[in-house]
Structure 1
Amino acid sequence: MEPPHVDGWGGATDDDGTPRIGPYRVLAPWDGRGAPEDARRCLARDDRSGRTVVLTLPHPALADDPAYRVRFRAEAENSRRLTGRWAPPVADIAPADARLPWVAHDCFPALTLPAALAAHGGPLPEPVVRALGAALAETLAGAHANGLVFAGISPGAVLLTADGPRLTGYGLVRAAALDRVGRAGLRGVDPAALPPEQRAGERPRPHGDVYALGAVLACAATGRTPGVPDALPDGLRTVVTACLSADPAHRPRPAGLIQALRTTPAGTGGGLPRPIAHALAEQADRYPVEAVPDAAEPVGRDHENGPSRRSLTIGGLAGVAGLVVGTGAVATFRAAADDGPGRPAPLSVRGTAPAPLWRRDIDIDVEEQSPPVILGGRYMLFANASAATITAVRLRDGKKLWTRENMWSAQALRPLGGGLFLKASQSSFEPEFAAISMRTGRVVWTERAYDGTKRPAFQGPLATRGNTIWFMATEAGGGDADREKPMVIAYDARKREELWRTPLPDAGSGGEDQRPGVLRDGALIIENNGASSDGLPWTKTWSYVALRQRDGRKLWTRAYKGVVPSTSQAYRDIVSGGLLIACDGRTAHAHDLTSGTQRWRFTAKGYLYTEPAVRGRMLCVTDEHSVTYAVDTRTGHPRWRREAAFEPGVGMPYSYNVISDAGRTVLQANASEIEALNAADGSRRWRFAPVGSGQGAGGFDGFAGSVPGMVLVMNGRSLYALPVD
């Protein structure tokens, strides 16, 4: 027998010339049976176990592109997160140093959809197409619910097996090109299955998967690649053309597709057509399992005997046991014999994101919401200033507790004792603050006395602890109507009375520009820089003042040379160890809080666009080149640095970091996903690509935060809770 040829592969070969890819010997390439621009797929034998797998390889034109190889392998790793009956188990992935990337799927024997159509000699019967579509729609529904956008569906990516279809090709669109790069005519993706918005360079989103599924069904129902909608059977035309709508908003959701495809015309079967069943049986006979002495048995599958020709043929021909659409929303091929292969056990692999503890879609205005606020580790509050609402979600289970309207300028939300939180106005037209029940949203009381008449005018909260509120206020400056006298006021929220007030001529600006104060060692520490009356930047060095919490006595004032006060993008915060951490430009530096002396200075290679994360003795920040640094806050020495695991896309320089409450995991959020890193050495633990809606669909443009034992991810209206540490 002439050894198989794999076009464009120049790697190792056996003595007989058979191509070898890693530990696999190529048995039968499928080149020419799939879309000409798609990735290559072939059957290959694992020398370690003797089993036969389906290998997916890059298109020959892309195999020598280093950036593509990195993206291909990253998408293959992320495909391990796919679950469900129709997601083929990932048997193996090429190591990072492999010359050619590949991913091996354990689903032999199998035919690509174009190969199955060739074996059948034409289009598949409508009942088979319906059942195929329902099964693939079920796969998409599960993927989207778990934060995954497939972005690689094509006729060549669909494999038909005796017990159901399998969907490969995960992430091929993302691997082929970065977002905002036109993909028309691009190698590595099937042009017929590429949604028009992705063709123009938009980020892959869930509704793009639906378009690609429509292209697959059109191909299956017409026997043509690409499928021709006019040639579709009447019973499929409506649902398939809806999937292929140019407007993503008009495409159905996977759950709706399952329902629409579930109705099979009476008296017809959904089993595999006889020619395809025979082709699968012949494939099994042609490449029987090879016994490998002392080979380690893969977990969860009996490899002593492969599926027999009889079992495959019976499974393909039995109408009642073939491809059926069941009442449990499951479309399935079924092998009806007693010697068919068992279902592989789920894999537990490094890099797989943990299953969400829960997911909720929160009914809020995504475009107008401010970043949510976590209170007491138990509740999350969403404030929408333009809609004048606050929505509360319980973090234990994601349940929406309440939405309260008429909460104008509801921005500064802080915890109070007794299960209450503080809602403060930061508008000079509404100088007030109120206590609200976290559990019910009921307003317990509202303080309006600090309106600038008999009492100073409320400007904004600085800090809360228990039943004490510290806030900024101003009063008129005597005969000078344009001059205001700033002060700090301590207020007892339980007794509803003022505790003390301390004038501070150089105190922070108040209003929306006022940064929170810090409660530390019995002192309230606040900005002491005043405001520029003409709107120009300050020219003096940054300064803080410390007031004793119990009586407002001024304890000290310090200036910090080198800390830039005039840049709005500069980051300043007081952290554990008595340090002031400041970041501006490419530099992070720390000053002793009480003495003002500089402790250390750290310089990154790129501009630090976003605020760093600080917890305990670690500072973590990412620069414009997507390099992440972990710095020891005691010494300023880097603990580790990590470059992006894949070629950065648009928005990657703006990624930000969150450190888990236990301090063992660094969460890096960018425009595509959340990546969890080991805080000890920067190695990757897992990646999570959340599903969103509206602008957040298919990418990530939301919020990530942490409470003890839990990571909270908000994308569009979708809120996830993931276990951590």
Structure 2
Amino acid sequence: MERLRLDDPERVGPYRIIGRLDPEYAHTPVPTRRYIARDVSGNRTVVVTLPRNEAADDREHWVRFAAEAENARRIRQAYPFPWIWAIDEVAGEAGAEPPWYAAPYLPALPLPTALELYGAPLPEETVRALGAALAETLAALHAEGQTHAGVAPGAVLVAGDGPRLTGFGDVRAAAVDGTPRRGLPGLAADFLPPEQLTGGRPRPLGDVYALGAVLTYAATGRTVPEAGLLPAGLRSIVTACLAADPADRPQARDVVTSLVRGGRQPVAVPSVAAPVPTSFDATADRAASLLGPGWLPGRLIAAIAEQSAEVLAAETDVTENEAATAAVARAGVHPATETDRPATALTGPPVLTSPDRQAAHSPHTVRTGAAGAQEALTTPGDAGVSATRSSLHAAFTSLNSSRRALLLGAAAGAAGVAIGGGAVWGATAPDPDPPTEAERLAAAHRTRHRLKGAPPQPRWRHDLTGPASYFPPYIWRQRVAVVSGRTTVAGLDMRTGKQLWNQDAVRPTGTAVAVGEDLLLVPGLPLTVLDARTGKVAWQAKRYGKGGKSPFEQLLAMEQNTVWFAAGGEDGTQRVTVAYDIRRREEIWRSPLPPDFIDGRLTDDALVVTSGTSPGKAMKKTGGEALRSIVLNRRNGVEHDTVTYDGAEKGQPVAAQGSTLIVGADDALRGYELGHGGAAKWSVRRPVATRRRVIPPFGPPTVHDGTVYAADAWYMVHAVAAATGDIRWQREHGFRMPGMLPPPNVVVSPSGRTIVMAGIYEIDAFDTSDGALRWRFADLNGSAGAPLRRRVALTDEMAVVLSGRTVYALPTD
């Protein structure tokens, strides 16, 4: 524990600062200030983290700092990731005081301090165990769609039972995406992957690069050494982590495997009956096989024990003085005046000058504080209180004895630290607490004002029951958010998120849509119309239900009171396109439909049905078969044309604008004439750097007011004129996803001012005028397996996000 400086705070929220966790002049910078502190009751010891002093006037940084801390807290509560620091308290918005967060204190040394105390690079087996634990944590985070974006030597704490990874989101908090991060306070360029230095969005493979840099530092004491300085057993995997191209780096789970296999301890095989904490269960806790007794050098074990003893000594000092003062106040004893109070008496929290702070935690100070408090209790004063003072003195002596016994026990428990820190941790571990003072204050002083770069605060959250849904929500008249699952449909109040109704008389196969004045059409078996206000069934078309003559398959298009959908034929083999009048509840016409034609778009006078995949399913190539469409007269179903589109493949997503069919192809966004033989009108390609060997595919396009918006698999968003293909803007907001995951969907608000990109990992909002990023929002979508793609519906003020089984309402501005 380091001594405090003049410019260090004395209190943060409900906590009194005891000392610094990091040295004043660290060889490797830390992007935050970290203090060991305890609450006024003396029962809870924490590490409090604040922004650096250089950010004292940067309110935007404050908001990003608090947002990343809150995200880390939610993630750690949702999943007990191995070896990650458990933040349990976050406070601060755009107020007059800087934000902060707190985590339970654990005796531990920052990695740079550990190297300094050891006096040399750490042993290879220590580095191997350290790296396996960190890689295991990163792999678990990545499996849940999260990026740590803060791996650095200062973010690693070395404890007796293994490391703890802190600093979640430090890179994102330091600067918004698109802003170069070289030279920012607390961020060392040697530990940042090249793509993040230039302002790129942090991605999982960037964490792997930072991990390689941390292991290099631990094994050599240098940040950028020659490969020959690395121990032979670590050289191959660490060098691979430091590849300049993210595509050449290993996945975090592969780093775990490499480090564990090279270790001297046997690999522990998880029990088949063990609970599954995360989707990373296949490799969970493998690092524990390397973290047995002896993994940490004895010199560092002694340093950890010494830190614990210093913390407990400092706690005893302040607790004695504050306990005495509180006891006097409860007894109604008035403090002595300045003229008659002994010089050593402390009747309130001490205000320390710089020399006082340097001596505040010495054994002499502890004795002086105790003696001074006892002397204050026995100072002559008003008559009639001597008996009360005697009883207070006895109570205080008992408190003092128990505190000292605790201190002596912990100081003598260095062996406990070597085994796993249990003895010392038990001395300071908190009991479950009610909402903290900081949480209550934050709840009472919330603001809807959000600064640039900060994610929005959800207006509400609702957790659904049953299986996760694949269908986007639908917003009815900005009053009801309609969520269609696989077995039920629910209506949520747009203001509060409370469930208004639930209907399980239908098995939805798509998103509900409004028909008529107060009705909702639910595609499914059977075709069902609900009352939008109550969720009650208005009527069902049994003919198109399970066991009916023409079972409903897929909604193709709708306009006013007419819907067009694909259904099974009456003979059980021939599929048909059906035009149906909702108001009159009668079929208008039906026309034969080939087996693989299930995606429909309306033009001014035609229904264009294309070959493709069902909504919600991943795109995949179909052996190079060309995309085709059937053009039907929308009024009578007569087939006008069959068109083949050269350069586009079956299964690729499409949209229509006027007489133009827009296709999100594997190498370009393309526009075709619906008629005239499907002639190509325009093509827009992604600007591709020469070092990238794979061109990402385009996702589903959406059209608003003559502009096509689409995103590719590297999260570049494109805005293109639908009629001509003229590029209005292109903005890249990320890098290639591991394994080339499907591209994200995009949704445009009714006013056309906001575009939201919804992917597997996060939600991003942009300004449609220039593609500027407004905010990003990431959460854990609750999936026990692979993360699910998020689905979004927009109003001009709100984004309703379906994330697994959780529904959020986010303000768009």
Q: TM-score, normalised by structure 1?
A: 0.53
Partners of 1:461 and 1:624 in 2: how far apart? 27
Partners of 1:231 and 1:413 in 2: how far apart? 63
Q: Deviations over 1:607-656 (max 9, x none)?
A: 22532333223223333444333222232122222233689778787444
The within-5 A match list for 1:17-416 is 31-32=22-23, 39=30, 54-55=52-53, 78-79=64-65, 81=67, 87=91, 169=167, 171-172=169-170, 179=204, 187=214, 281-282=353-354, 329-331=435-437, 349-356=451-458, 358-365=459-466, 368-378=468-478, 379-385=480-486, 388-408=487-507, 410-411=509-510, 413-416=512-515
The 8 Å contact of residues 662 and 669 in structure 2, kept in 1 or not, is answered as: yes
The 8 Å contact of residues 38 and 188 in structure 1, kept in 2 or not, is answered as: no
Q: Which residue among 605, 614, 624 is the counterpart of 2:703?
A: 614
User: What's 1:509 paired with?
Assistant: 595
Partners of 1:542 and 1:719 in 2: how far apart? 36
Partners of 1:714 and 1:230 in 2: how far apart? 49
Q: Deviations over 1:53-78 (max 9, x none)?
A: 83479xxxxxxxxxxxxxxx999873
SS of 1:440's equivalent?
coil
Partners of 1:434 and 1:693 in 2: how far apart? 29
Change (3 A) 1:523 1:269: farther
The reply to whether residue 630 of structure 1 matches residue 719 of structure 2 is yes
Partners of 1:229 and 1:389 in 2: how far apart? 55
User: What's 1:524 paired with?
Assistant: 607
Partners of 1:447 and 1:651 in 2: how far apart? 42
User: What's 1:62 paired with?
Assistant: none
Partners of 2:69 and 2:308 in 1: how far apart? 31
Partners of 1:91 and 1:390 in 2: how far apart? 41
Whose strand fraction is larger, Structure 1's or Structure 2's? 1
Partners of 2:545 and 2:504 in 1: how far apart? 23
Amino acid at match of 1:600: W
User: What's 1:440 paired with?
Assistant: 534
SS of 2:646's equivalent?
coil
User: What's 1:601 paired with?
Assistant: 683
Change (3 A) 1:88 1:443: closer
The reply to whether residue 559 of structure 1 matches residue 643 of structure 2 is yes
Amino acid at match of 2:758: A
Q: Which residue among 642, 649, 660 is the counterpart of 1:579?
A: 660
Amino acid at match of 1:469: V
User: What's 2:223 paired with?
Assistant: none
Q: CA deviation at 1:419?
A: 2.1
SS of 2:52's equivalent?
strand
Change (3 A) 1:711 1:200: farther
The 8 Å contact of residues 620 and 657 in structure 1, kept in 2 or not, is answered as: yes
SS of 1:449's equivalent?
helix
SS of 1:676's equivalent?
strand
Partners of 1:382 and 1:53 in 2: how far apart? 40
SS of 1:79's equivalent?
helix
The 8 Å contact of residues 801 and 808 in structure 2, kept in 1 or not, is answered as: yes
User: What's 1:497 paired with?
Assistant: 586
Amino acid at match of 2:645: K
Q: Deviations over 1:331-361 (max 9, x none)?
A: 369xxxxxxxxx99998532223443x2122
Q: CA deviation at 1:600?
A: 0.9
User: What's 1:665 paired with?
Assistant: 754
Q: Which residue among 694, 708, 714 is the counterpart of 2:796?
A: 708
The 8 Å contact of residues 696 and 716 in structure 1, kept in 2 or not, is answered as: no
The 8 Å contact of residues 464 and 806 in structure 2, kept in 1 or not, is answered as: no
Change (3 A) 1:149 1:362: farther
Q: TM-score, normalised by structure 2?
A: 0.48
Partners of 1:529 and 1:285 in 2: how far apart? 71
Q: CA deviation at 1:455?
A: 5.6
Q: Deviations over 1:532-557 (max 9, x none)?
A: xxx986956622313233xx153732
Partners of 2:568 and 2:216 in 1: how far apart? 63
User: What's 1:591 paired with?
Assistant: 672
Partners of 1:486 and 1:642 in 2: how far apart? 42
Whose helix fraction is larger, Structure 1's or Structure 2's? 2
Change (3 A) 1:588 1:113: same
Q: CA deviation at 1:581?
A: 0.3
Q: CA deviation at 1:365?
A: 3.2
Change (3 A) 1:715 1:200: farther
Q: CA deviation at 1:30?
A: 8.0
Q: Deviations over 1:514-545 (max 9, x none)?
A: 22x334435433348999xxx98695662231
Aligned length: 501
The 8 Å contact of residues 664 and 698 in structure 2, kept in 1 or not, is answered as: no
User: What's 2:406 paired with?
Assistant: none
Q: CA deviation at 1:276?
A: 12
The 8 Å contact of residues 415 and 465 in structure 1, kept in 2 or not, is answered as: no
Q: CA deviation at 1:442?
A: 1.9
Q: CA deviation at 1:184?
A: 7.5
Change (3 A) 1:150 1:496: same
User: What's 1:718 paired with?
Assistant: 806
Amino acid at match of 1:580: L
Partners of 1:581 and 1:330 in 2: how far apart? 54
Q: CA deviation at 1:154?
A: 13
* C-alpha RMSD over aligned residues: 6.4
The 8 Å contact of residues 41 and 54 in structure 1, kept in 2 or not, is answered as: yes
- Which runs of 5 or more residues in structure 2 are unaligned? 6-18, 35-49, 71-88, 110-144, 156-165, 173-190, 194-202, 219-251, 258-276, 281-300, 316-325, 331-344, 359-375, 377-430, 440-444, 615-620, 689-694
Q: Which residue among 549, 556, 576 is the counterpart of 1:462?
A: 556
Q: Deviations over 1:307-354 (max 9, x none)?
A: xxxxxxxxxx9xxxxxxx9x9944369xxxxxxxxx999985322234
Change (3 A) 1:601 1:527: same
Change (3 A) 1:433 1:269: farther
Q: CA deviation at 1:374?
A: 0.9
The 8 Å contact of residues 458 and 473 in structure 1, kept in 2 or not, is answered as: yes
SS of 2:584's equivalent?
coil
The reply to whether residue 488 of structure 1 matches residue 577 of structure 2 is yes
Partners of 1:79 and 1:280 in 2: how far apart? 29
User: What's 1:299 paired with?
Assistant: none
